[in-house]
Amino acid sequence: MAGHRWGVRPSLRSAGVGAWVDLHVELVAADGRRAGLERALRDAVRDGRLAPGERLPATRRLAEELGVSRNTVKGAYDQLVAEGYFTARQGSGTQVASLPAEDAVPPEASARAREPLFDLRPGSPDVGAFPAAAWLRALRRAIATAPSLAYDYGDPRGRIELRAALSGYLGRARGVIAPPERIVITSGYVQGLALLTRVLDGGDIAMEDPGLPFHRDVVRRNGGSVVPVRVDERGACVDGLGEPSAVVVTPAHQYPTGVTLHPERRRALTDWARARDGLIVEDDYDGEFRYDRQPVGALQGMAPGHVVYLGTASKTLGPALRLGWMVLPPQLVDDVADAKLHSDHHTESLGQLALAELIDSHAYDRHVRACRLRYRRRRDRLVDRLGSRRGVRGIAAGLHALIEVDDEAEVLARAEAEGLAVGSLGEHWHSPESEGRPQGLVVGYGTPRERVYPEALEVLGKVLDAG
């Protein structure tokens, strides 16, 4: 059996340049040259290595690459055209045909079938509002002024341009004490939580109950043990915390209940940290979005030596950017930077430079203000549609609300039947036993596109009214 790799450069008349097309072709000597080529090309189409619409090399070029006659290649092409694997048109050359799948649903059709008609799940912003034009301008300016070293391996803490920009922004917008040397750029909150768990060598990590199950999984997969911290109408209950390695809280807008950590609880939590030399991890996932009064300042400002502050651009811009940040107490900076170095070396640099430019030009502030107005209108529409008939909680801030229901499972079944996707409070508890616990839907009003949001609310109202 002989293996051959061929490459051709089809002409691109509009560009005047070419592009190599490489494919590994194995010819079995016992089949004969033409039959072997037919089999190899046929298998490549069936395996997906030659995709529908792929342009095949010219017969003369492929013959030269494989060391066979042009008639051998032409005969193989003609046979596969006759079988429907290839198409041939005058002036367009030979291309791979689109073949119907046998006994299978096309992957894209299957994915569409799984997608809900109306998506009110929490956790995402309206990605259709991404400021593409402003981001492109910032990226162009950043690339135009970036030093050549920006394209090399960098500081595991992240680009100094972004750390300096965040230092100013977090100080004025969130009340965070954030010198650039204490900031580490990450690919998001999850990476920050994972790095910190590793640096702490696992141990007991106290986390809010209810809280996001995925974050508990992150802690466990990185060697930590999770200890539940009860949440009530005043936020996390800090009495009896004991001595965990760290306690993780969402003080500005608890997830998923939406309550704000009461000032007395804030003081009690920071007092606990000082008295026991404990560590608080502040997840400020949507702190910029507060509607009924000024945003609540970050907890970190009360005890910067005992609080790890984690924020991201996922809710303000979009999760696809994979940009987050940690503001660390001085004693943790080197260890976290080392863990980052051995995790992925450093977060990609061009996005960091673009975000720094966006912040320094105040385009980021303008975008956040515009989003705050948009999401407040959405929040108000949700309350107008549902608030008069049932409890809607956690609406002073953020991108989600908690809607009280009597029978969570029944309401979720009705929602699924209507093509409506929402979150459930039940999935957020640390243990599955739910007897006596509140039941509710966690509704994300940031996720839908603007044009479908009104209809999504009507479907939600219909689902709830049916009970």
CATH number at residue 389: 3.90.1150.10
User: Do 271 and 380 belong to one domain?
Assistant: no
Residue 111 is assigned to a structural domain of this protein: no
User: Do 151 and 250 belong to one domain?
Assistant: yes
CA distance 300 to 176: 6
User: Do 236 and 271 belong to one domain?
Assistant: yes
CATH number for the domain harbouring residue 35: 1.10.10.10
User: Do 185 and 307 belong to one domain?
Assistant: yes
User: Do 202 and 257 belong to one domain?
Assistant: yes
Burial (Cβ within 10 Å: 0-12, 13-18, ≥19) of residue 109: exposed
- CA 64 to each of CA 8, 38, 59, 69: distance values in angstroms, whole numbers, following the listed order: 10, 17, 9, 8
User: Do 208 and 321 belong to one domain?
Assistant: yes
pLDDT in tens, the chain (467 residues): 444 444 433 333 333 333 445 667 777 666 678 888 888 888 888 888 888 888 888 888 888 888 888 888 888 898 888 888 999 887 778 889 986 655 444 555 444 446 889 999 999 999 999 999 999 999 999 999 999 999 999 999 999 999 999 999 999 999 999 999 999 999 999 999 999 999 999 889 999 999 999 999 999 999 999 999 999 999 999 888 889 999 999 999 999 999 999 999 999 999 999 999 999 999 999 989 999 877 789 999 999 999 999 999 999 999 999 999 999 999 999 999 999 999 999 999 999 999 999 999 999 999 999 999 999 999 999 999 887 666 899 999 999 999 999 999 999 999 999 999 999 999 999 997 756 788 999 999 998 988 999 999 999 999 998 86
Residue 28 is assigned to a structural domain of this protein: yes
Residue 190 is assigned to a structural domain of this protein: yes
Q: Which of 305, 334, 362 is the last residue of a domain?
A: 362
Q: Which of 362, 385, 408 is the last residue of a domain?
A: 362
Residue-number span of the structural domain to which 21 is assigned: 2-96
CA distance 27 to 35: 9
Residue 221 is assigned to a structural domain of this protein: yes
Per-residue 3-state assignment (H helix, E strand, C coil) for 339-381: HHHHHHCCCCHHHHHHHHHHHHCCHHHHHHHHHHHHHHHHHHH
Helices 132-145 and 349-360 meet at what angle, rounded to 10? 110
User: Do 175 and 269 belong to one domain?
Assistant: yes
Residue 164 is assigned to a structural domain of this protein: yes
Question: 163-176 burial, b for 16+ CB within 10 Å, e for fewer?
Answer: bbbbbebbeebbbb
CATH number for the domain harbouring residue 159: 3.40.640.10
Both tokens of 164, joined, read 């300096």
Q: Which of 362, 396, 420 is the last residue of a domain?
A: 362
Residue 104 is assigned to a structural domain of this protein: no
Residue 294 has a pLDDT of 78
Residue 3 has a pLDDT of 46
User: Do 350 and 398 belong to one domain?
Assistant: no
Total domains present in the chain: 3
User: Do 158 and 306 belong to one domain?
Assistant: yes
CA distance 45 to 33: 18
User: Do 424 and 287 belong to one domain?
Assistant: no
- Which ranges of 123-206 does DSSP label H, i.e. alpha helix? 132-145, 160-174, 189-199
- Beta-bridge mates of residue 25: 4
Cis omega (within 30 of 0) on the bond before 122? no
Give the N- to C-terminal CA distance of the chain in Å, as an integer: 69
Are the CB atoms for 390 and 405 separated by under 8 Å? yes
Both tokens of 248, joined, read 């993780």
Residues 6+ apart with CB under 8 A from 271: none
Residue 107 is assigned to a structural domain of this protein: no
User: Do 68 and 188 belong to one domain?
Assistant: no
Residue 325 has a pLDDT of 98
Residue whose structure tokens are 């940009």: 323
Residue 251 is assigned to a structural domain of this protein: yes
User: Do 346 and 214 belong to one domain?
Assistant: yes
